């Protein structure tokens, strides 16, 4: 009788764990969580970014909320979503890392998309921290301004990649730049490095993104530039 009771407990226990796995089983939901790791977002902005309808985006967010991975608040006509805690991003990163280690197709996909990315060695977080403390580099946050305001690497300046061409005159040629964005598969930093190097600046990208930097407990700031 005791064994049957314990078996029932184990079945119910793993059913709870499986709720998380089920919520993560959609590519769209995984992307939504990585976007929310940058900061709080409205349903409208998420739908626009991902090219989904509002109804479809809302359905995915509801599934994530039912699994207790995100929470929401309403302000006026808009509904804002955010991660419930940093551990949600940790799970997403663990899934990504396992895929990188085990799925050959992922490696082929990344190489095909990013081409010659490996020809310029990226900067790792510990290297950037050391060089930033020594004032040896200028750190560029190439994400949208709203994401920079929600949180950014301490000391970074906001230069969204779409604005970089217009702001080149403000970036001295004698400096070295490290650009970062949302994560290792975000293209903003790559595009920024390409533009900067094409205009004679020394530039590299951060290997990781802002969520990884924050998760590592490294210095961050919030708020827009003054």
How far, in Å, CA of 187 to CA of 205, rounded?
10
Say whether both 214 and 131 belong to one domain.
yes
Q: How far is CA 28 from CA 32, 156, 215, in A?
A: 6, 30, 22
Catalytic residues, by residue number, are 181
- Answer yes or no: are the C-beta atoms of 156 and 180 closer than 8 Å: yes
Residue 200 is encoded by which pair of tokens? 């004679």
Domain boundary among 88, 110, 139: 88
Q: What is the predicted pLDDT for the residue at 225?
A: 78
List the structure tokens of 13: 């226990």
pLDDT at 30 exceeding the cut of 80: yes
- pLDDT digits over 196-213, tens only? 999 999 999 999 999 999
Q: For residue 158, what is the enclosing H or E element?
A: strand 157-158
Domain that holds residue 163: 120-221
Contact 150, 181 (CB under 8 A): no
Backbone angles phi, psi at 192, to 5 degrees: -65, -45
pLDDT confidence of residue 116:
67
- Residue 106 lies inside a defined structural domain of this protein: no
CA distances for 147 relative to 5, 7, 180, 222, angstroms: 49, 46, 12, 9
How does DSSP classify residue 134? T
Are 142 and 164 a contacting pair, CB within 8 Å? yes
**Residue that is last in its domain, among 41, 71, 88:** 88
- Residue 119: its pLDDT value, please? 73
Count up the domains in the chain and report the number: 2
Give a yes or no: residue 154 inside a domain: yes
Predicted TM-score (pTM) of the model is 0.92
**CATH number of the domain where residue 69 is located:** 1.10.10.10
Is the pLDDT assigned to residue 32 strictly greater than 90? yes
For the chain, how many helices (H) and strands (E)? 11, 9
In a domain, 195, yes or no: yes
**Average pLDDT along the chain:** 95
pLDDT digits (tens, 9 = 90+) for 125-182: 999 999 999 999 999 999 999 999 999 999 999 999 999 999 999 999 999 999 999 9
Percentage of the residues of the chain whose pLDDT score is greater than 70: 98
Does 226 have pLDDT greater than 60?
A: no
Give a yes or no: residue 204 inside a domain: yes
108 domain residue, yes or no: no
Do 215 and 175 share a structural domain?
yes
Q: How far apart are CA 122 and CA 138, in angstroms?
A: 15
Residue 96 domain flag:
no
Tell whether 144 and 80 lie within a shared domain: no
- 65 and 144 co-located in one domain: no
Cα–Cα distances (Å) from 56 to 50, 51, 156, 180, in that order, read 11, 10, 35, 30
Q: Is the pLDDT of residue 63 over 90?
A: yes
| φ, ψ for residue 156, nearest 5 deg | -75, 150
Name the residue among 192, 195, 185 with its Cα closest to residue 140.
192
pLDDT at 115: 80
pLDDT value of residue 122: 95
Same domain flag for 129 and 204: yes
């Amino acid at each position: 009788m005791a064994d049957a009771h314990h078996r029932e407990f184990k079945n119910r226990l793993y059913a709870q764990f499986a709720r998380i796995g089920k919520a993560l089983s959609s590519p769209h939901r995984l992307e939504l969580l990585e976007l929310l790791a940058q900061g709080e977002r409205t349903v409208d902005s998420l739908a626009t970014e991902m090219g989904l309808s509002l109804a479809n985006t809302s359905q995915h967010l509801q599934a994530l909320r039912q699994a207790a991975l995100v929470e929401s608040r309403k302000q006026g006509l808009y509904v804002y979503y955010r991660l419930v805690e940093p551990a949600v991003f940790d799970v997403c990163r663990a899934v990504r890392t396992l895929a990188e280690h085990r799925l050959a197709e992922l490696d082929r996909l990344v190489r095909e998309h990013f081409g010659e990315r490996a020809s310029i060695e990226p900067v790792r977080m510990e290297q950037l921290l050391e060089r930033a403390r020594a004032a040896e580099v200028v750190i560029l946050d190439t994400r949208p301004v709203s994401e920079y305001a929600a949180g950014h690497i301490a000391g970074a300046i906001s230069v969204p990649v779409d604005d970089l061409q217009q702001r080149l005159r403000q970036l001295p040629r004698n400096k070295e730049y490290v650009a970062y964005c949302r994560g290792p598969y975000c293209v903003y930093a790559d595009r920024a490095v390409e533009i900067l190097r094409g205009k004679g600046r020394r530039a590299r990208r951060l290997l990781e993104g802002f969520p990884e930097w924050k998760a590592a407990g490294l210095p961050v700031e919030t708020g827009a530039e003054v």
